Amino acid sequence: MSTERSAGPLPVADLSYEEARDELVAIVARIEGGGAALEESMELWERGEALAAHCKDKLDQAQEQLDRGAAGTGRDAEDDGTDDSDDA
């Protein structure tokens, strides 16, 4: 087992989208469960906010890559590749 986790959670910036999402789900469950003290709940909330922002950034980056890829093909998303110019 890795000793990295025993030293505390990894910095949010070092997490993949999936790792951040899974940790965020666990934090939400812990807060909703009501078993954490107020101070711990506040720390969990702050970590959750950072994880949510990280996930959003990762999704935004993925969307930008998709948009650049679609723009690079020279076609609009609605273009089906057929030439309708002789239909007139």
The pLDDT of residue 86 is above 50: yes
The pLDDT of residue 77 is above 70: no
4-8, 48-52, 62-66: which has the minimum mean pLDDT? Answer: 4-8
Residue-range domains of the chain with CATH: 15-71 (1.10.287)
CA distances to 4, 16, 30, 51, 77 from 36, rounded to whole Å, are 23, 26, 7, 19, 48
pTM above 0.75, yes or no: no
Confidence of residue 81 (pLDDT cuts 50, 70, 90): low
Q: How far is CA 29 from the centre of its chain?
A: 18
Position 80 scores a pLDDT of: 54
Mean pLDDT of the region 31-35: 93
